[in-house]
Amino acid sequence: MTSEEWVRYLAEAADDKKAQDLVMLKMTGISIIADYFIICHGDSEKQVQAISTALKMACEARGVPVRRMEGFDRGRWVLIDMGDVVAHVFHRDERNYYQLEKLWGDAPVYSLEKKPL
């Protein structure tokens, strides 16, 4: 599976749990952390946890271990390192406060509706 296919697969897993305002940032050439970031939010701590769990289970279904998951217990900002893809699953309030997309404003932004990566 290519990095593009992998990020789409993971984004669809988050979307299945009703992740809000889901975007994918192509970080290749911008950051050495990952090839892609997924950024999305939920409206409650439980939804943030459900989205995060769905991402973890999507990895496990493909035999890819989650390298690290931080912030799950609080359900306000969960960071999930899945190798080539790092997901930031926010609670709506935290996403509005941190505005992570602006930090990486030079990265190409994609949604599930936009097909080419």
Cα–Cα dist 113/25, whole Å: 14
Question: Per the structure, how many domains does the chain have?
Answer: 1
Q: And the tokens for 28?
A: 């290749």
Q: Is residue 117 part of a domain?
A: no
Give the pLDDT of residue 114.
Answer: 54
The predicted-structure confidence for 52-99, as pLDDT tens digits, reads as follows 999 999 999 999 999 999 999 999 999 999 989 999 999 999 999 999
In CATH, what number is assigned to the domain containing residue 40?
3.30.460.10
pLDDT of 81 reads: 97
Q: Which range marks the domain in which residue 42 is found?
A: 3-110
Give tens-digit pLDDT for 2-12. Answer: 888 999 999 99
Domain annotation covers residue 56: yes
Residue 21 φ/ψ region, left for φ over 0, alpha for ψ in the -120 to 50 degree band, beta for the rest: left
Whether 115 is covered by a domain: the verdict is no
Helix (H) or strand (E) holding 88: strand 85-91
Instruction: Tell me if residue 28 falls in helix, strand or coil.
Output: coil
